[in-house]
Structure formats: C-alpha cells, structure tokens
C-alpha cells in the first residue's frame, strides 16, 4: 500500500469505531485522531469533517466542526487513565516510525454543526435502529481521507448485546476457487466425484446476514472480531506489487462493495471491533493440499485448481533456497539460542528442540552434498580395491581374469558385487536427495507460510485499526483488547537463534495446521515503549477506580485477544470431557502455565497458547500482581474471550482455597457459560474470571458438531446480569457466494 502524503483519519476507523448516543454526540462529540505531515502546522480551521450514512437511504449526511488540535507527543505510559477511551491517544512506535514516518499525530474533538436527531437514524418497521456513518476529512474543501463504518449513532438502550467472532480467514483465493472448482471438475478426468468446496468468505457472509437481522430487531450492538481476520496477507495474484493483499477483500466483505452486493452481501450494519491474529501477520499462504478437509476438495482437484498458488512458486522458490542455504550454514536453532542451552534450560522439551535442530540441519546438508559424497566414497572404494588387487596380481593375471570374465558363461561373484555397489550408489545419488529435498522443501514451505513481519499488516493499521492494544466502554461494560502477535515459530527465527520470541516453546503443537503458540504479551519497546502487561494493569486500575465511584452498579470487564491463555490438545480434551460425563468434579489443573511438574491427572493447558508473560496475565485477571500475591489490587476480570484453536472450550481461573503468601492460580475445565446464564438474575453471582474460546467463523475445527460459522452471542442487562454467553452456530443454507446472474 502506498503511504499517504496528506492528512488522514487514524481513529476512529472500520475496526475501532466510535459508538455514541445522539445526546452525547450533541454535548460532547467524539475524539478524532488525525495524522498530518510533521512539516506542516495543523490548522483546525482548514480541516473539515462530514459524516455520510454507510448505507444509502439510512440516515442523513451531517457536517461536524473540529476543535483546536492537541499534538500527541508523549509516548510514555501515563501514571493513570481516567477513562478507557484514552487508550486511543497512545500511538504505537510502529505506526510512528515504520508506517507513517514524518507524520505528527493530533487529537481533536468533533461535534455536529447542526442539531442531530432521530432523522439521522435508520428505521426498521418504524423502529429507530443504530446507524453507521462513514467519515470524510477535507482540507481547504478537498477530501483527503475517508474511513468507512467509523461512527455509529446508537439508539438508547441500557442492555449491551454483542457477538464474539474469531478466525474469519478471508482470502481472495477462497472466492476464486469456488468460481473455478466446477470448471475444473467438469474439464478434468482426474477429479471425479462431487467437490463440496467450503468457502470461508461465504461463511462470513452467512454470519453477516444473521448479524444484520439481529441488528434490525435491536438485538445486536456490535461485533467483536478477535484475530485471523484474513488467512494470510499477500495474495500473489498475477505477480502484482507487494502492496497487493487480502485486506481490501476483508473490507469489501464487511462494508458491502458492489462486487459483494452481487454475491448477496450488502455489508455489515453494526460496528465491528477488531484485533489481529497469527494468520494476519503471515506473509505467504500455506499449500492448498495441506488441509484438504477444511476446503472440502480432493488432492487431485486441489492440484489442478491451484493455479493461484503456482503463481507464487517462483517467489517462494527463491525464498526456499535462501532458507536452505542459511539452514546449512547456520543450523536450525528451532527457537532456542543453542541446542545445548535448550536441553539444559527446558528439559525434555529442550531435548526435542535440539534433536529437531540436528535433524533439520543434517537433512539440509545431505540434500545439498549427498551426490558428491556418494560419488567420492565410491571412487575411493574403487581406488582402494584396485590398489589392493594390483599388489596381489600381475598384469598378465589381470588380463587373463578379464578374458575369463568375458568368455566364461557365468560372472565371478566379485563382479556381481561391484555391479550391485555401482547400481546402489547410482540410485542413492539420484533418488535419496530428491526424496530428502522434497521432505525438506515441505518443511521449509511450512515455515515460510508462517513467516511474519509488520509490513504485511500495514494495510490493516491504515485501513482497519491502527492499534495493537486499545479499550472501549459501552454502558456498564468495559472491553480491553490485546494483541497476541505472530506465531512463535517463524521462518526468521528458524535461523536467528530464536530471537526474543523464545521461551517455554512446545514442539508438538507448533506444526503448521495444528495449534501453534503465538508470541503472546510483548515486552517494552517491541511496539510501544512500555510492556503490554503494564498497560493492562493500568487499564484494570482505571476500571477499578470507576467501580469505587459507583459501587452500586455492577460493571463487567471483558478482555479480548486471539490466542487463548489456556487450551488442551484434542486427546486431553476428550479425556476431560469423559471425566465430566462421569459426574466427577470439573477437571482441575494447577501451575501448568509456569512450567511446573505438579499437573493433576497429567493435563497440560499450554497447547497452542500465548507464549510470553502468561503467569502475570493470570494473576492480573484474578486481581493480583505476580510479585505481590498476598495483596488484592483488584478489580479482576469477568471473562477473557479468545479463538485460535477453532473449537469451543471453557476454563475458570481460581485462587486456591486457603492460599498462603505464595500461590499459583488454579485452572478448571467445565461448562461454565451455561451456569452463568442460569444466574442471569443475580448480578452479584461470582463466576469469573472465565477463559472462553469460540470456534471459528471460517474453517471447521476438530469437533464435528461445531460447523462454521461459529460465534458467541453475549448479552449484559442493566444490572450486570449475563443472560446469554454460550457459543452458537448458524444452521440453514448460507447466502450464495457466487455473483448473481444479470446483476
């Protein structure tokens, strides 16, 4: 994406909108963050702002005035926040230095120039409903920047209703494959049978139709889309520029472009709040034959269908050669600074990491040098044998022996032996390297598919959401959004000693297509000049102070992220489910996030979870600091929403009964959301903090009953009672993802 050259709206945006009531808009307006060239002084009078209905015929355009600007220069974490919305004033160092270098950031207030009322709300069956607006920024009368679905005029309601959505996996190729699969099947004799192609984009469109129906009834306020919004960033189509990505496809699906309308999707009519997942950081795609089951096609069909993937083969091939050469020369640390350090510091896991490193490096070297090695050994073997025989036989003996070979009806045994040796050497030199290369290429291809860098999500930051972390408030609920970063196992860390994204890594769950660990909560100076955990603690403290000011009101705190803080492998999940069906207590796991060995019943909750600072996160969710376990600092979290694993799962955090000065959080497995719903009328019922995973909207996971699109519908009444929390899935045929004929 070309970097902007004039002023632009940073926030609100498509993935971080402002939801405001009519009265509040009139009195206070809303905060606007504008980026402008640093060489120019920001002139508020020269800038103007207008709000246009996101959907034609819904509401009316109105103009907004802009207050004098305040420059956002301080990057330090403030001592305290007075409101969670102040997190929008924190501009990441990544945005400042990499995506918008040479820009200054300004805070202004935008208020309507003329009264705004119900005339500006859309109506459904004569009932006013919340309405989305696009914002347009002009300088001296010329429009210089637009943001879609950035402002929502909310109809007054004390109940908060939202849907947790995760793992959308939108990509251009999904629609291309659906358009081509029939032609491929009909035109090829090697792809017999019906191909039930599963389009992730179509499943999102199916969900959008449900969301719009609920919004029309006044039963949905916003969508919380937490990660893996796209399947990967680069499309690779037709050798276009590196700026080409899947992000425009996502925005088209969400906002309802003309092409989307031809597919039966008019766009999402409720605001959406987003964060990134590990797939959103990935540059390249994975091979389509890797998980045929999630696409619903055969291998033969995929091989013929995948003209798209082959378009990237040249680029990926060059990348593979670079990886292989570095692998041979530097080895494969596989997320450990040294194989010996991995073994000594991580025990069994370290041993397997070191062993994996050795195998990868050895196979790479064999692939490159095996032919030369085999022929060198063969030549040496023949040389030594010839010298030995030359000493034992004179020339006439050799001549007689050769004559004997050619005239005797049967060959001597040693001739047969040498013939076998020669044939085996030839086969090994020709076949073994190709087999090893095929295996190694597949391994490296998988690593390249999860290669991550900030530049790949530049379009996300500029068009969807500029924040790694942010928070917002609606009625009596505070929502805190955390970014959990890319996969821990990346192509870069394959040879750079693992870098800073290495600690307590597990090998078995970091295979592409499984449930890879993600980086987790980043330290200071990675994206902001302060740690993510410190930021979270400030946020919770802010909400705690608001609770003290109004102790009678039950205020809920929800944290959203992509990678789960707790997860089980399918095998362990099946065991846990079996234990629950036998009327035994909920499965209980202790100290597993901290690498301890005292796991009750052998449960390990670290399968494909966040990789850094998890123990600190658990203590904060319970209302404590890890370093001060005997002091409750409050307020604690009600629920943590996550995805990543493509299935529904629920845990509960608890402080052990009778805990002393030092204690570790307990993690319980069970069906907690249904219990919460039963206590909807009792706002004082204590049920947190819950760790809630939601199955995917796009791909199907390992549980056959969780058919996409999946989501979790949540309602919180005026008293703080949570009356809906359980996961849901949509039934019935989805809207067609194919263009309408004649449109």
Q: Which of 126-135, 233-242, 550-559 has the lowest mean pLDDT?
A: 233-242
Q: Is 178 left (phi over 0), alpha (psi -120 to 50) or beta?
A: alpha
Q: Which of 117-121, 178-182, 538-542, 642-646 has the lowest mean pLDDT?
A: 178-182
**Contact indicator for 641, 224 with CB cutoff of 8 Å:** yes
Residue ending a domain, choose from 138, 156, 174: 156
| pLDDT one-digit tens code per residue, 198-215 | 899 999 999 999 999 999
Banded pLDDT at 330 (limits 50, 70, 90): low
- CB half-sphere exposure, 473, CA atoms < 13 A: 15
Calculate the alpha carbon distances from 364 to 219, 324, 326, 357 in Å. 57, 7, 10, 11
DSSP string, 579-594: HHHTTPPPEEEESGGG
Residue ending a domain, choose from 441, 469, 494: 441
**pLDDT at residue 537 tops 60:** yes
**Contact indicator for 528, 470 with CB cutoff of 8 Å:** no
**pLDDT at residue 456 tops 70:** yes
Say if residue 492 is exposed, middle or buried (CB neighbours under 10 Å; 0-12, 13-18, 19+): middle
Residue 538 falls within a domain, yes or no?
no
Say if residue 340 is exposed, middle or buried (CB neighbours under 10 Å; 0-12, 13-18, 19+): exposed
Structure tokens at 198: 């599963």
Residues 6+ apart with CB under 8 A from 20: 30, 151, 152, 153, 154
What length is written for the chain? 743
Three-state DSSP class for residue 44: helix
Residue 679 falls within a domain, yes or no?
no
Calculate the alpha carbon distances from 440 to 102, 362, 367, 427, 714 in Å. 43, 11, 8, 19, 46
Banded pLDDT at 511 (limits 50, 70, 90): very low
Distance CA 492, CA 354 (A): 17
Residues 6+ apart with CB under 8 A from 561: 226, 227, 275, 481, 482, 483, 484, 610, 640, 641, 642
- Note down the domain range covering 436: 331-441
pLDDT for the residue 711: 98
Banded pLDDT at 432 (limits 50, 70, 90): low
Distance CA 638, CA 608 (A): 23
Banded pLDDT at 381 (limits 50, 70, 90): low
Q: Which of 275-284, 343-352, 359-368, 369-378 has the lowest mean pLDDT?
A: 343-352
Three-state DSSP class for residue 486: coil
Phi, psi at 82, each rounded to 5°: -95, -20
**pLDDT at residue 496 tops 90:** no
**pLDDT at residue 504 tops 50:** no
Structure tokens at 555: 């205020």
Query: In what side-by-side order are the strands of the sheet with 556-560?
Result: 470-474, 477-481, 556-560, 639-642, 690-693, 649-654, 666-669, 587-590
pLDDT for the residue 241: 56
- pTM of the predicted structure, to 2 decimals: 0.83
Residue 258 falls within a domain, yes or no?
no
pLDDT for the residue 103: 94
In the numeric block, the tokens 């805190």 are attached to 480
**Contact indicator for 610, 565 with CB cutoff of 8 Å:** yes
Higher pLDDT, 157 or 641: 641
Residue 165 falls within a domain, yes or no?
no
| pLDDT one-digit tens code per residue, 305-328 | 665 555 555 555 565 566 556 555
pLDDT for the residue 218: 95
Residue 590 falls within a domain, yes or no?
no
Question: pLDDT averaged over the chain?
Answer: 79
**pLDDT at residue 27 tops 80:** yes
Q: How many domains does the chain have?
A: 2
Residue 90 falls within a domain, yes or no?
yes
Distance CA 3, CA 463 (A): 11
Residue ending a domain, choose from 388, 413, 441: 441
- Measured in whole angstroms, how far is the alpha carbon of residue 61 from the centre of its chain? 36
Residue 213 falls within a domain, yes or no?
no
Residue 409 falls within a domain, yes or no?
yes
């Amino acid at each position: 994406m070309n970097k902007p050259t004039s002023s632009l709206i940073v926030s609100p945006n498509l993935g971080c909108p402002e939801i405001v009531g009519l009265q509040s808009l009139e009195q206070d307006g809303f905060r606007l963050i504008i980026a402008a060239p640093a060489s120019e002084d920001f002139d508020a009078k020269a800038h103007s702002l207008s709000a246009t209905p996101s959907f034609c015929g819904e509401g009316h355009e109105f103009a907004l005035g802009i207050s004098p600007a305040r420059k956002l220069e301080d990057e330090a974490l403030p001592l305290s926040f007075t409101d969670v919305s102040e997190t929008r004033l924190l501009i990441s160092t990544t945005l400042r230095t990499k995506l918008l270098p040479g820009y200054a950031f300004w805070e202004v207030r935008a208020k309507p120039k003329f009264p705004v009322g119900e005339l500006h709300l859309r109506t459904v069956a004569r009932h006013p409903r919340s309405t989305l607006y696009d914002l347009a920024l002009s300088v001296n009368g010329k429009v210089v920047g637009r943001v879609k679905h950035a402002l929502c005029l909310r109809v007054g309601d004390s109940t908060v209703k939202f849907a947790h959505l995760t793992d959308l996996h939108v990509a251009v190729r999904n629609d291309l494959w659906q358009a081509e699969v029939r032609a491929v099947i009909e035109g090829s004799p090697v792809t017999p049978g019906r191909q039930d192609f599963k389009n992730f984009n179509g499943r999102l469109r199916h969900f959008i139709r449900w969301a719009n129906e609920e919004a029309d009834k006044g039963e949905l306020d916003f969508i919380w889309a937490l990660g893996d919004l796209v399947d990967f960033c680069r499309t690779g189509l037709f050798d276009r520029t590196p700026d080409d990505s899947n992000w425009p496809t996502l925005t088209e699906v969400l906002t309802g472009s003309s092409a989307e309308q031809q597919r039966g999707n008019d766009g999402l009519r409720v605001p959406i709040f987003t964060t990134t997942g590990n797939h959103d950081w990935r540059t390249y795609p994975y091979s389509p034959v890797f998980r045929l089951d999630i696409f619903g096609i055969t291998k033969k069909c995929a091989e013929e269908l995948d003209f798209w993937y082959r378009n990237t083969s040249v680029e990926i091939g060059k990348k593979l050669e670079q990886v292989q050469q570095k692998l041979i020369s530097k080895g494969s640390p596989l997320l450990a600074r040294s194989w010996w350090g991995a073994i000594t510091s991580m025990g069994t896991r370290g041993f397997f990491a070191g062993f994996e490193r050795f195998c990868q490096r050895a196979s790479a070297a064999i692939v490159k040098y095996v032919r030369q090695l085999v022929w060198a050994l063969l030549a040496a073997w023949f040389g030594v044998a010839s010298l030995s025989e030359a000493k034992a036989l004179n020339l006439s003996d050799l001549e007689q022996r050769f004559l004997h070979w050619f005239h005797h009806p049967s060959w001597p045994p040693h001739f047969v032996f040498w013939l076998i040796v020669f044939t085996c050497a030839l086969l090994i030199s020709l076949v073994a390297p190709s087999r090893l290369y095929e295996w190694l290429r597949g391994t490296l291809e998988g690593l390249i598919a999860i290669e991550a860098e900030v530049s790949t999500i530049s379009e996300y930051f500029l068009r969807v959401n500029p924040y790694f972390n942010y928070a917002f408030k609606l009625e009596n609920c505070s929502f805190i959004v955390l970014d959990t970063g890319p996969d821990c196992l990346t192509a870069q860390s394959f040879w750079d000693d693992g870098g800073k994204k290495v600690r307590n890594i597990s090998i078995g769950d970091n295979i592409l297509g499984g449930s890879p660990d993600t980086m987790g909560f980043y330290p200071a100076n990675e994206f902001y000049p302060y740690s993510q955990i410190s930021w979270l603690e400030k946020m919770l403290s802010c909400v705690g102070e608001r609770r003290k000011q109004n102790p009678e009101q039950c205020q809920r705190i929800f944290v959203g992220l992509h990678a789960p803080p707790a997860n089980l492998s399918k095998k362990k999940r099946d065991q846990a489910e079996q234990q629950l069906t036998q009327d035994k207590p909920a499965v209980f796991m202790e100290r597993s996030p901290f690498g301890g060995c005292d796991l009750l019943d052998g449960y390990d909750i670290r399968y494909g979870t966040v990789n850094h600072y998890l123990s600190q996160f658990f203590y904060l969710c319970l209302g404590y600091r890890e370093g001060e376990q005997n002091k409750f600092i409050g307020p604690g979290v009600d629920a943590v929403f996550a995805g990543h694993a493509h299935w529904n799962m629920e845990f509960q955090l608890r402080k052990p009964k009778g805990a002393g000065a030092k204690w570790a959080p307990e993690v319980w497995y069970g069906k907690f959301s249904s219990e919460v719903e039963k206590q909807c009328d009792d706002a004082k019922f204590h049920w947190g903090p819950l760790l809630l995973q939601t199955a995917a909207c796009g791909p199907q996971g390992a549980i056959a009953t969780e058919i996409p699109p999946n989501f979790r519908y949540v309602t919180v009444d005026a008293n703080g009672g949570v009356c809906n929390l359980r996961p849901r899935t949509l039934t019935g045929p989805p809207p067609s993802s194919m263009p309408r004929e004649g449109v």
